[in-house]
Amino acid sequence: MLGFFDSGLGGLTVLREVEKRLPHYSYVYLGDNARTPYGSHSHEVIYKFTRQGVARLFKEGAQLVILACNTASSVALRRIQQEFLPEKFPDRRVLGIIIPTAEEIASMTQTKEVGVLGTEATVQSFSYPKEITKVDALVRVHQQACPLLVPIIEAGELEWEGLDLAVNKYTTALLRNSSKIDAIILGCTHYALIEELFKKRVPSGVRVVSQGNIIADKLADYLMRHPEIESRLERGDRRIFMSSEDSFRVRNLFELFYGKKVAIKKVSL
């Protein structure tokens, strides 16, 4: 199976696009909704939570896990790959979403100036500037943390006028860094749900990029280049959705992010 882990539900926006691109595999998704958001936690806590989530997905049968969470990818991925997997699961693989997105955004900019909107932890990790400049050292990366957005989105308040005000605040602050920014990464998978709000707040000619399609294409390419992993993936239409919290709120949000109702299996991490 292909596994997807997120601190909450934003990763479902990535899973939806991957399913469209690669419909013939079985999938298992885990959202750590009881402890979301991760963005304001320490790096050690984020690593601990992510490690627990990955282990639970492996227990469910996942051979390859995607950290469909920018915070987990930026803070925990390297340690997961270098410490946790060799010791506990040497035959399994875990991939993040920072590097694929960085590769894509570096090829999009004409002005060589891009913006990143993300959680506090993602911004403070400087993962995007590091990875983007590895692809193209001439690109300048401007960042803006958006601490209010995930809690608002996870509360299901997508129609609340305060959400639009917050988007405007953060987008304006980012663009204030430079008038040359011509591409902006929505560096949190939750933000895909409100992509149109961001697009309304940027000048014409500035591209707003969410991650679902990018990750779907990059994952398809990865599996093509790694047949030894691809051959171990379960084929079929099996879909398992797990959460560390099962509540009316979470069930409604699963439907909102995924686009249809699903049965949720509550798990302890």
Closest CA to 96 of 119, 64, 58: 64
How many whole angstroms separate alpha carbon 114 and alpha carbon 174? 10
Q: What is the mean pLDDT of residues 4-9?
A: 93
Query: For 97-143, how does the pLDDT look when each residue is reduced to its tens digit (9 = 90+)?
Result: 999 999 999 999 999 999 999 999 889 999 999 999 999 999 999 99
CATH 3.40.50.1860 domain span(s) along the chain: 2-97+213-266, 98-211
> Is pLDDT above 90 for 40?
no
Cis, bond preceding 37 (omega within 30 deg of 0): yes
Catalytic residue among 69, 75, 123, 242: 69
> Is pLDDT above 90 for 39?
no
> Is pLDDT above 90 for 179?
yes
The CATH fold assigned to 98-211 is Rossmann fold (3.40.50)
Question: pTM of the predicted model, to two decimals?
Answer: 0.90
Q: What is the pLDDT of residue 135?
A: 94
- Residue 154: pLDDT band with limits 50, 70, 90: confident
Q: Is residue 188 annotated as part of the catalytic site, yes or no?
A: yes
| Contact indicator for 11, 69 with CB cutoff of 8 Å | yes
| Contact indicator for 122, 146 with CB cutoff of 8 Å | no
Q: What is the pLDDT of residue 245?
A: 94
> Is pLDDT above 90 for 155?
no
CATH class of 2-97+213-266: alpha beta
Query: Strands 113-118, 93-95: parallel, antiparallel or unpaired by DSSP?
Result: unpaired
Catalytic residue among 1, 188, 197, 242: 188
